[in-house]
Amino acid sequence: MKNYKNEKSLFVALLGCTICLMFTLMYLGGFKSLTYFLGSEAIYDFPETDMIKNAKGWEYHEEENGYYIVKNNAVNKYRVDRYVRTWKYLYLTISNCSVSEVHAILEYYDKEKNILKEQPIVIYNGENEIELNETIEIYRIGIRIRDAKGIFFSMDSMEIRSEKAGFSWQKFYECMGMSLLICGCVIFMGYSVRKKYVNTENYALEKNTGLLYILQSLYVLQGNIVGKKAIQKCRKIDRKVTVEILLCVFFAWILFFEIMGWTKGESYRYFSLGCAVILFACGCLLWKKEWKNTGVMSSVLKSWYGLWIMMALSDVFKEDGEKFFSYVMIFSAGFFIFAYNQRFKADAVICLFLRALEIDYVLVVLFCIFFRPKIITVYYNGICRRPEDFAMYALLIFALFVWKIYGLIDNDASYLQWIGYGMGAASALYFVLRSGGVVAKIALILVAITYLYGCVYIWVKKRVSFRYRWKQILTAIAFSFLCVVVIHISVKYLPDILQTTVVFEDEQLVSVLPEDELQLYQQMFPITLENVTSKDTINVMGSWKNYARMMGLYGNATQIYRNREPVQAYNGYLDLMYHYGIFAVIPFVLYQIYGFCISLKKCRRFFGKKNPYIFVLCVNIIFTVFCVFGNASVNFGNIAVWCYFLFNGVYFKE
């Protein structure tokens, strides 16, 4: 009963906070639209590079972070958005101005650089709201300052809008605070009335006759009919080995479609259909005897299904885009998880997945060696289009092999096992360090700390001495070092020598260098570093702002653009709320909390044994870190995301 009450309280708290956030955004947007809470007007944020660029008479000083006007007729021009259109308001924020006001002229330009209109404006310290001529279509604007030589100011931000801005952080904090206060009072009153007048003692906590019980009954029916017939046809084969082979095919299917760029667009239906068929086939082959629906509904299970149901509801309202993958998760992935929970314990289930991941990782390493060269000063993308995605996958593989090594510590193992697992862990670590930025390193440190704690536990509590295994450890280190050297040299030179380099369409190439140093390298290697951007140009706060202002009730399938380029959310929660609606975040957060807490509880109970819970805990850590600081959400082209949503299925019976 206690766990049930805690679970319900957490759900009510998250629901209340989400409703308060929705009401606040709708209030600031004038209650105009449920699709876009803050309004559907067009907004363009000028990039940070526009705030520091030199122009005629405008001289930027990096040390003082501002402009000096060095001519009596100084003008700076700015390109506006991707399309020529009309605008109503320009918001310009400046600071550290050496005079009380700056008299300037705002110039409207067309594509041919002709001046369409000149509008006198006055600029002050702080945010300046400038009303534009909404009848003129603008391609470029210019700010001309005359007879003001020697003045200094810093330009903090500039945005142009089709409607007047209704959002400000002060209004947001005030409205959100008031909403939370009212919501807290309503919840308190509701609990008080419920405690006084409603009998809450008799709850059927284990049984559930609702939607999830019906769904699991459908799984039982499918298994007992389809699974039984499949077993009768496949009596002569080893079904466990067949499932392992199918899982290898499943992960290879994901890798192939991701490499080809077919996880989105017209090929999306074939990708989702293949995933659904393979998982359903695996579930059928796991049938052994008559299945029964126990009716156990764990917190992880309910939040898992809640997420896909919310996504399915969002897909109904969206007009285009990749839709209805939630049905694959409910009817195929859910069926597969239900099947392996009927037959195996947690360690056997995870071992099925890990063997498949190990085999496919060999293919990944070979593909990287022969087809994907490492570009100088650029994060390594590997089999993915973005370095962050490959770092996430490499971290998953690193956690896999370290878990394998972790299981060898208090068991007798051959040299071959130590060498194989050591080489796998070392090569995955190499890929993490070559492809990952700060986010990947944070996740790597947390994973390392988790396993280190386990090793210390074995050393102290079980009194296992490492001195009897120093030969195996040193041999594994030596072979791992040689493996990393071979991979490093291969990805650096081999694809160019064999002329087998594969370049992905829409690939994001991010340099580790700051913008000024990258420009020097681009002058030396113009072809190699073409289309490479500096990590400093990635404006995470700007991306958060763009996704937050486009948040709605139903979700959107369209891509968000910033500075005429498609942008990522750099936050999994914002990405989920934008694409699937604001309420989809509730089961998503609950799933993360429950999965992490149960993994931690299991690890504390079973530390020192070769069990999968420490590995599942690491999978939860990796996904959560990339979700908070990166783009991990429901990107099904990434194997690490699939593993996160499939591995926690071992807790569905808890």
pLDDT in tens, 306-323: 999 999 888 888 776 667
Query: In the numeric block, which tokens belong to residue 325?
Result: 């993958």
Nearest Cα residue to 402 out of 552, 619, 239: 619
Q: At what angle do helices 2-28 and 585-606 cross, to 10 degrees?
A: 150
Which amino acid, 465?
S
Report the distance separating Cα 361 and Cα 393, nearest Å: 10
Report the distance separating Cα 442 and Cα 377, nearest Å: 21
Q: What digits encode the pLDDT tens for the residues 68-78?
A: 999 989 999 99
Q: List, by residue range, all CATH 2.60.120.260 domains of the chain.
A: 43-161
Q: At what angle do helices 346-371 and 639-647 cross, to 10 degrees?
A: 180
pLDDT at position 358 is 92
Cβ–Cβ < 8 Å for 409, 610? no
Which residues are within 8 A (CB) of 38 and not within 5 positions of it... i.e. 6 or more apart?
25, 28, 29, 166, 167, 549, 550, 551
Percent of the chain, pLDDT > 90?
28
Report the distance separating Cα 471 and Cα 468, nearest Å: 8
- Please report how many Cα atoms fall inside a 13 Å half-sphere around the Cα of residue 284, on the Cβ side: 20
Q: Is 117 helix (H, G, I), strand (E, B) or coil?
A: strand
Mean pLDDT of 287-295: 76
Q: What digits encode the pLDDT tens for the residues 240-255?
A: 788 889 999 999 999 9
Write phi, then psi, for 128 (nearest 5 degrees).
-110, 125
Nearest Cα residue to 504 out of 542, 531, 477: 531
pLDDT at position 211 is 79
Higher pLDDT, 468 or 48: 48
Q: The pTM is what? A: 0.86
Cβ–Cβ < 8 Å for 483, 362? no
Scan for tokens 């002709």, then name that residue: 114
* 429 has a pLDDT exceeding 70: yes
pLDDT at position 208 is 46
Angle, alpha carbons 536-531-436 (nearest 5°) = 50
Q: Mean pLDDT for the chain?
A: 84
Topology of the domain covering 43-161: Jelly Rolls (2.60.120)
* 413 has a pLDDT exceeding 90: no
DSSP assignment of 27-50: HHTTS--SSSTT----EEEPPGGG
Beta bridge partners of 129: 91
Nearest Cα residue to 125 out of 88, 146, 107, 151: 151
Mean pLDDT of 51-63: 87
Report the distance separating Cα 12 and Cα 26, nearest Å: 21
- Count other C-beta atoms under 10 Å from residue 27's C-beta: 18
Cβ–Cβ < 8 Å for 63, 215? no
Q: Which helix (H) or strand (E) holds 95?
A: strand 89-95
Query: In the numeric block, which tokens belong to residue 587?
Result: 């089961």
